[in-house]
C-alpha cells in the first residue's frame, strides 16, 4: 500500500446534515469510556484504531459505516490520555456503570477514514484527539504492521440511554460486536452542529493532505 498522505477515503460525498441511521441497529464498536465521552460531547470526531489480538490475521478493518458506541472500562485508560481528559475521566468515572452493564448512549457514522502508514502522519493529528503521543506511538508499533487507522465519525446521541446486560460474548480484544438485541437509532440527534462538524472534518483532511 502506498504510504503517501494525499488520500483520505470519503465514505459519502453528501452533506452530513443528519446521519442516515437504520431504524434498528445491533452492530457496536468498542472504545474507551473516556474517548466515547469526548466523542459524545463533540470534543473530537476521531477514532484511532490499531486492532486487538482477537481481530484475526487480517487485523482491524473498517467493516461498518454505521454503529453504536460500546463504552469499555479499560483500567489504564486514564493514564493514556491528556491531562484535561484525565480530569474529565475523574468526573465521569463515579457515574460509569459496573462491569456487568453495557451502557449505550451514542451511535456514529464513519464519514472518512485513512490507514496511516507512518508515525509522522499520526503526529499530524495532534490536537484533534485526547490520546497521549506515546500511547499512539506504542499502538502504531504494536503487531506485525506499523500502521494505525484514523476514522472521522459523526456522532449522534440516542433518544434514550440503554443499559444492557454485559454478555460473555461481548468480551475479548476485538473492535466489532454484534449485540443480542436491536437498538432504535432513528431519532438520534448529532452532537455537533453541521458547521462545527464540517470544520473539524476539514481539519482532519487537511492534516493528512500532504506528506
pLDDT digits (tens, 9 = 90+) for 32-88: 999 999 999 999 999 999 865 455 555 677 888 999 999 998 767 888 999 999 999
Considering its fold, how many domains does the chain have in total?
Answer: 1
Kindly state the cell numbers that stand for 174: 476485538
- Flag whether 200 is in a domain: yes
- Flag whether 9 is in a domain: no
pLDDT band at 14 (very low <50, low <70, confident <90, very high): very low
- Flag whether 139 is in a domain: yes
What pTM was computed for the model? Answer: 0.87
pLDDT digits (tens, 9 = 90+) for 129-150: 999 999 999 989 887 778 899 9
SS3 130: coil
pLDDT digits (tens, 9 = 90+) for 84-104: 999 999 999 999 999 999 999
Separation of alpha carbons 172 and 178, rounded Å: 13
* Whether the predicted pLDDT of 172 surpasses 50: yes
pLDDT of residue 210: 66
- Flag whether 11 is in a domain: no
DSSP assigned state of 14: S
pLDDT of residue 63: 83
Separation of alpha carbons 8 and 121, rounded Å: 12
pLDDT of residue 90: 93
* Whether the predicted pLDDT of 113 surpasses 70: yes
pLDDT digits (tens, 9 = 90+) for 15-35: 445 566 668 999 999 999 999
Separation of alpha carbons 129 and 116, rounded Å: 15
Residues facing 148 on adjacent strands: 116
* Whether the predicted pLDDT of 206 surpasses 80: yes
- Flag whether 203 is in a domain: yes
- Flag whether 141 is in a domain: yes
- CATH number of the CATH domain containing 160: 2.30.130.30
Q: Using alpha carbons, list the distances in angstroms from residue 127 to 25, 54, 149, 191.
A: 32, 30, 17, 19
The half-sphere exposure of 55 on its side-chain side, counting CA atoms within 13 A, is: 17
**Owning domain of residue 187:** 20-207
β-strand pairing of 24-32 with 66-72: parallel
- Flag whether 12 is in a domain: no
pLDDT of residue 139: 87
- Flag whether 181 is in a domain: yes
Amino acid at each position: 500500500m502506498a504510504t503517501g498522505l494525499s488520500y483520505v477515503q470519503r465514505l459519502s460525498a453528501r452533506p452530513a446534515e443528519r446521519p442516515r441511521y437504520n431504524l434498528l441497529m445491533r452492530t457496536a464498536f468498542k472504545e474507551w469510556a473516556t474517548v466515547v465521552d469526548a466523542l459524545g460531547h463533540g470534543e473530537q470526531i476521531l477514532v484511532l484504531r490499531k486492532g486487538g489480538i482477537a481481530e484475526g490475521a487480517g487485523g482491524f478493518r473498517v467493516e461498518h459505516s454505521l454503529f453504536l458506541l460500546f463504552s469499555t472500562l479499560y483500567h489504564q485508560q486514564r493514564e493514556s490520555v491528556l491531562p484535561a481528559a484525565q480530569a474529565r475521566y475523574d468526573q465521569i468515572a463515579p457515574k460509569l456503570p459496573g462491569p456487568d452493564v453495557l451502557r449505550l448512549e451514542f451511535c456514529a457514522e464513519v464519514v472518512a477514514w485513512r490507514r496511516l502508514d507512518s508515525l509522522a502522519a499520526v503526529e499530524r493529528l495532534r490536537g484533534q484527539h485526547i490520546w497521549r503521543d506515546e500511547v499512539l506511538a506504542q499502538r502504531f508499533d504494536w503487531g506485525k504492521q506499523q500502521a494505525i487507522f484514523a476514522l472521522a465519525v459523526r456522532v449522534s446521541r440516542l433518544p434514550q440511554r440503554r443499559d444492557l446486560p454485559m454478555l460473555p460474548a461481548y468480551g475479548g480484544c476485538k473492535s466489532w460486536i454484534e449485540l443480542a438485541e436491536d437498538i432504535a437509532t432513528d431519532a438520534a440527534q448529532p452532537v455537533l452542529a453541521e458547521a462545527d462538524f464540517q470544520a473539524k472534518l476539514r481539519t482532519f483532511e487537511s492534516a493528512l493532505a500532504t506528506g
